[in-house]
Amino acid sequence: MYHFFAAALLTVFTISTCGGQILNVEKSRAKSDSANYFLGTIGLSFNANNQSLTDDGTEKSFVGLSANSDVAYFSTHHSFLLVGQLQYTATSETAINSAGYGHFRINWLRKKVISYENFAQIQYDQGRGMQSRQLVGGGVRFRIYREEKSSLFAGTGIMREREEWERPGAEGGLVELALWKSSNYVTSRLQLRENIAFGSIVYFQTGYDPDRDFFRHRVSADVNILVNITSKLALQTSASFTYENRPVVPIPKFVYRVTNGIQLSF
């Protein structure tokens, strides 16, 4: 048990420097009118979700530990974001599974109503059989609304995504997939009270699979509530949901994760 906690705490620092489904970068953009400064957060959370599978591909719920670390640098005109997360999960029936991602994103001309983005990502998820996911892309970001206590942005772009999945059960074997996809999102932020902040981001990604002659869609959402205890320490509650209409291997189309924990800002 001590090794488990030690590994999780160590990896949260490692993944942030080795530069994920990116769903939680928007909190680093709060001081968008300032320039030449760093922001960062380190979080540790317990979670419950249904991302694990039995041998026949049916879902199984479990609990675990999630650690994340985000670092952002804001220059006069651009911003650079590095986000990482690692999850350890286990049940009484199975050994420990892990999942993680690292995501790097640049927002060019970040103060403009219309700005531009480039991003790259790596990800894996042992519980669902995802051996690896890599993607790289770019797009346009639109500032729809922004005030001191609230904001609304939208983005659209294109990316190249490559995946390797392990087929569950007796069939076994690896399935590889590489697609061009459209990537679109809407994100919002709201300061509910002086010490309570709400944030959300919803993604819709879709691409045509020429080998199987159909479109693959992915909808994912992330909702976060932060309750500040001090200027550096906060309680965090987050929920994330992902739906894929045609999973690469026979696994549940819908997965969720709910976490409660603490977050340290610097």
Residue 170 has pLDDT above 80, yes or no: no
Residue 182 token pair = 């459209």
pLDDT score of 27 = 47
> Which run of H or of E encompasses 2?
helix 2-17
Cα separation of 245 and 72, whole Å?
33
- Domains belonging to the chain, first-starting first, are 2-265 (2.40.128.130)
pLDDT given at position 55:
59
pLDDT level of residue 64 (50, 70, 90 thresholds):
confident
For 189, left (φ over 0), alpha (ψ -120 to 50), or beta? beta
CA distance 191 to 213: 45
Verdict on whether the full-model pTM lies above 0.75 = yes
* pLDDT at position 145 over 70: yes
**What confidence score (pLDDT) does residue 7 get?**
37
Length of the chain: 266
pLDDT tens for 206-233 read 999 998 899 999 999 999 999 999 988 9
Q: What would the pLDDT profile of 78-97 be if each residue is shown by its tens digit? A: 999 999 988 887 765 666 78
CB 109 within 8 A of CB 116: yes
